């Protein structure tokens, strides 16, 4: 199944808002740590419902925020949410991670949450990000699906789009291969997902409380930050 078919189906039955709710727990920490200044241009790669740019536009006078997504229905939903929230500096573009419809040196910062690993050629995508970033621009790739997070390993079974499961060191290596400097890498814990008391386990999704604590409070979201030379 293509990215378009898979995520258009998600958008059509309201799963875009469900993702937003789950991802916001850690995305907000990533957004707060981005060195965005008034007047900056920001790209959200795999924007989904577009919540990340709306959050940035609430706290910064962005020159422009572009949400890019390969699923037209998803992009349509993001556009309508932007409109109903009066986010005038934001736009949504339908496009592919491997060939960004953006000019060289046209973006100051890139954010991407739970989207990058769907790229069919992740190093090519990083090269594209480097191309569109101005020198000194930053890229913040946040993922919950990664090698060290053993609790994510079976996620591929539930989705028809092929996913790349890199480790932290593999992310750093790929950033460098694409010509980006690695500025930092960290885990952002999810402190909001409710974890029931020990007596509630096993649950439908978790055998033990320890495993659930590890998944959310310890592993959380892996964030790799790169800087364009
Ligand atoms: C799991 S959703 C995450 C959305 C949002 N960032 C969030 O945090 O909720 C991944 C999004 O990336 C988009 N996407 C995945 N692979 C893509 C690709 N190769 N090109 C363009 N968009 C892609 C999907 O259409 C989907 O909306």
Domain locations in the chain as residue ranges:
3-227
Please write the tens of the pLDDT for every residue from 113-151.
999 999 999 999 999 999 999 999 999 999 999 999 999
Query: Does any ligand 1 atom lie closer than 6 A to the CB of residue 171?
Result: no
Helices (H), the chain: 3-12, 15-32, 51-59, 72-84, 122-132, 168-177, 209-213
Q: Is the pLDDT of residue 215 over 80?
A: yes
Q: Atom 11, ligand 1: which residue's CA is nearest? A: 46
Confidence (pLDDT) at 76: 97
Residue 196 C-alpha to ligand 1 middle, in angstroms? 30
Fold designation for 3-227: Rossmann fold (3.40.50)
Both tokens of residue 184?
């930092």
Please choose from 2, 3, 143, 220 the residue to mutate so as to test ligand 1's pocket, defined by most ligand atoms within 8 A of CB. Answer: 3
Confidence (pLDDT) at 26: 98
Please write the tens of the pLDDT for every residue from 169-209.
999 999 999 999 999 999 999 999 999 999 999 999 999 99
Q: Is the pLDDT of residue 1 over 80?
A: no
Query: Does any ligand 1 atom lie closer than 6 A to the CB of residue 3?
Result: yes
- On whether the pTM is more than 0.95, the answer is yes
Query: Does any ligand 1 atom lie closer than 6 A to the CB of residue 20?
Result: yes
Which ligand 1 atom lies nearest to the CA of residue 112?
6
Confidence (pLDDT) at 163: 97
**How far is the C-alpha of 52 from the C-alpha of 32, rounded, in Å?**
11
Confidence (pLDDT) at 194: 96
Please write the tens of the pLDDT for every residue from 86-118.
899 999 999 999 999 999 999 999 999 999 999
Query: In a 3-state reduction of DSSP, which class is residue 229?
Result: coil
Residue 162 C-alpha to ligand 1 middle, in angstroms? 13
**How far is the C-alpha of 85 from the C-alpha of 162, rounded, in Å?**
34
Residue 70 C-alpha to ligand 1 middle, in angstroms? 7
Q: Which of 66, 54, 55 minimizes the C-alpha distance to 29?
A: 55
Q: Phi and psi for 227 in degrees, rounded to 5?
A: -125, 135
Residue 128 C-alpha to ligand 1 middle, in angstroms? 16
Please choose from 8, 12, 26, 48 the residue to mutate so as to test ligand 1's pocket, defined by most ligand atoms within 8 A of CB. Answer: 48
Question: Percent helix, strand, coil in the chain (nearest 5)?
Answer: 40, 20, 35
Residue 218 C-alpha to ligand 1 middle, in angstroms? 24
**How far is the C-alpha of 157 from the C-alpha of 140, rounded, in Å?**
27
Number of CB atoms found within 10 A of residue 20's CB: 18
Please write the tens of the pLDDT for every residue from 43-68.
999 999 999 999 999 999 999 999 99
What mean pLDDT is reported for the chain? 97
Residue 77: exposure state from Cβ atoms within 10 A (0-12, 13-18, ≥19): buried
Number of CB atoms found within 10 A of residue 16's CB: 23
Angle at 7 between CA 141 and CA 226, to 5 degrees: 10
Residue 91 C-alpha to ligand 1 middle, in angstroms? 16
């Amino acid at each position: 199944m293509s990215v378009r078919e898979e995520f258009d189906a998600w958008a059509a039955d309201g799963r875009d808002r469900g993702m937003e709710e789950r991802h916001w727990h850690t995305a907000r920490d990533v957004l707060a740590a981005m060195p965005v200044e008034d007047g900056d241009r920001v790209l959200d790669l795999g924007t989904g419902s577009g919540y990340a740019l709306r959050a940035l536009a609430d706290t910064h006078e962005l020159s422009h925020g572009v949400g890019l997504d390969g699923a037209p229905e998803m992009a349509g939903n993001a556009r309508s949410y932007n409109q109903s929230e009066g986010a005038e500096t934001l736009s949504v573009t339908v496009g592919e991670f491997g060939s960004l419809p953006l000019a060289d040196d046209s973006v100051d910062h890139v954010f991407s949450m739970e989207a990058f690993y769907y790229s069919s050629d992740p190093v090519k995508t990083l090269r594209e990000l480097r191309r569109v970033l101005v020198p000194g621009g930053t890229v913040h790739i946040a993922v919950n699906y990664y090698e060290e997070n053993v609790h994510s390993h079976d996620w591929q079974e539930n989705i028809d789009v092929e996913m790349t499961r890199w480790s932290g060191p593999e992310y750093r290596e790929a950033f460098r291969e694409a010509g980006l400097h690695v500025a930092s890498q960290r885990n952002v814990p999810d402190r909001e997902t409710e974890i029931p008391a020990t007596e509630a386990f096993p649950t439908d999704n978790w055998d033990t409380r320890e495993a659930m604590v590890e998944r959310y409070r310890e592993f959380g979201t892996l964030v790799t930050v790169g800087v364009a030379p």
